[in-house]
């Protein structure tokens, strides 16, 4: 049976539509909390697919969150073995750090629904399903990263140049959130209530926007994820 490892940093930021498709495809799924998991128990080469999710901390904050060093080491081993690995938001930043790139605060925070611009290279990959003509992407990040050496930029947005990149044959990283669903975001509005208020956003307005954009994003995400898994031989 094919296996998938999903790494969380906060419980309410889950794998969304990707998790649904993994279940439909009969993957055996292991979900772990990066914050308190015994990393010595995890073999980075075991899972057929690994998804590293987001969270409200910086990939560079191991002085506050020491487990990040273990997670980066885990990703270094997996990435250099060229195993299918998908990073989202903090996950993408940790992948960039594992590949030797710098991660740091962005000049502006990107929070809400904004389109992606797919690069010429991205148009030949499954990332093309997220083209601005087909859907609007969800964003929630205050950090950014340099493109790792050897990586290929696949998509950008107005506020963030390095949105999606690939590395090697089987690693893919999203600064944005292709996995979210309108229903799943309800937990985000509660979990990130303080940040939403601080940024002067409205949960009601965010809910309205999710109702408009969420269904199409979820549809495109399924197309993307199925093709990406197939391209990775999974």
Closest CA to 178 of 21, 49, 5, 11: 21
Closest CA to 175 of 217, 144, 218, 213: 144
What tens digit of pLDDT does each residue of 152-176 get? 999 999 999 999 999 999 999 999 9
Answer yes or no: is pLDDT of 30 > 90.
Answer: yes
Per-residue pLDDT, averaged over 131-143, amounts to 97
**CA gap 166, 96 in Å, rounded:** 10
pTM passes above 0.85:
yes
**CA gap 44, 73 in Å, rounded:** 9
Beta strands in the chain (DSSP E): 3-8, 28-33, 49-52, 85-88, 103-114, 117-118, 137-145, 152-156, 164-167, 171-174
**CA gap 60, 30 in Å, rounded:** 26
**What is the per-residue pLDDT for 188?**
96
C-beta separation of 109 from 177 below 8 A:
no
What tens digit of pLDDT does each residue of 46-98 get? 999 999 999 999 999 999 999 999 999 999 999 999 999 999 999 999 999 99
Residue 124's φ and ψ, nearest 5 degrees, are: -105, 15
Per-residue pLDDT band at 233 (split at 50, 70, 90): confident
Domains of the chain: 3-231 (3.40.50.880)
**What is the per-residue pLDDT for 157?**
96
Average pLDDT, the chain: 96
**What is the per-residue pLDDT for 234?**
85
Per-residue pLDDT band at 100 (split at 50, 70, 90): very high
**What is the per-residue pLDDT for 36?**
92
Per-residue pLDDT band at 223 (split at 50, 70, 90): very high
Per-residue pLDDT band at 178 (split at 50, 70, 90): very high
In percent, the amount of the chain with pLDDT more than 70 equals 100
**CA gap 191, 168 in Å, rounded:** 35
Per-residue pLDDT, averaged over 114-120, amounts to 97
* Coil, strand or helix at 138: strand
**What is the per-residue pLDDT for 210?**
97
Answer yes or no: is pLDDT of 120 > 90.
Answer: yes
CA distances from 177 to 26, 64, 69, 123, 221 (A): 24, 25, 23, 19, 10
E strand or H helix that includes residue 72: helix 67-80
């Amino acid at each position: 049976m094919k296996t998938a490892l999903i790494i969380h940093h906060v419980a309410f930021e889950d794998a969304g539509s990707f998790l649904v498709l993994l279940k439909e495809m009969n993957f055996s799924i292991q979900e772990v909390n990066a914050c308190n998991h015994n990393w010595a128990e995890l073999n980075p080469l075991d899972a057929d697919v690994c998804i590293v999710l987001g969270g409200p901390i910086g990939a560079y904050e191991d002085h506050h969150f020491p487990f990040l060093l273990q997670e980066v080491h885990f990703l270094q081993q997996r990435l250099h073995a060229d195993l299918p690995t998908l990073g989202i938001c903090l996950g993408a930043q940790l992948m960039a750090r594992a590949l030797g790139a710098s991660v740091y605060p962005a000049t502006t925070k990107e929070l809400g629904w904004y389109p992606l611009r797919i690069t010429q290279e991205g148009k030949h990959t499954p990332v093309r399903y997220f083209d601005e003509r087909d859907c609007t992407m969800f964003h929630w990040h205050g950090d950014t990263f340099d493109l790792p050496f050897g990586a290929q930029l696949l998509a950008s947005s107005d506020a963030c140049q390095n949105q999606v990149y690939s590395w090697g044959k089987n690693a893919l990283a999203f600064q944005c959130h292709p996995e979210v669903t309108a229903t799943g975001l309800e937990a985000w509005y509660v979990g990130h209530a303080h940040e939403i208020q601080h940024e002067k956003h409205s949960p009601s307005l965010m809910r309205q926007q999710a109702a408009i954009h969420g269904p199409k994003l979820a549809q495109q995400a399924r197309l993307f994820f199925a093709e990406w898994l197939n391209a990775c031989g999974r």
